[in-house]
Amino acid sequence: MSDKPASGELFGVPYNFERPSVSNMLKAYWQPGEGMLVEKPFGVGYTLNLANWRAWVVLAVAGALLWQQQQGESEESAVDEAVEVVVDD
């Protein structure tokens, strides 16, 4: 049986299946001087670098959109009553 690498890159996408530790998780999500996206500490792909201000903008926009969606759902439930339409010929 061949030994498969626990971390690397496949088709340009990084992967890491090594056992994560708390210190590695903190280091992965806070990398000053790096870009907005950094390699995930566990799994496949990229994640947000919370040391970059652009990541906070993305989180704020996602939070605002989620809040807006929840507000729209609560307004729709209040407007579910019947409406009578009268058409004159």
Q: Which helix (H) or strand (E) holds 50?
A: none
Q: What is the dihedral of CA 54, 28, 65, 63, to 10 degrees?
A: -100
pTM for this model (two decimals)? 0.67
Query: Mean pLDDT across the chain, nearest whole number?
Result: 87
Say which residue, 80 or 9, is predicted with more confidence. 9
Alpha-carbon span 20 to 34, nearest angstrom: 21
Question: With bands split at pLDDT 50, 70 and 90, how would you rate the model's confidence at 55?
Answer: very high
Q: pLDDT confidence of 69, banded at 50, 70, 90?
A: very high
66 vs 7 pLDDT, higher one: 66
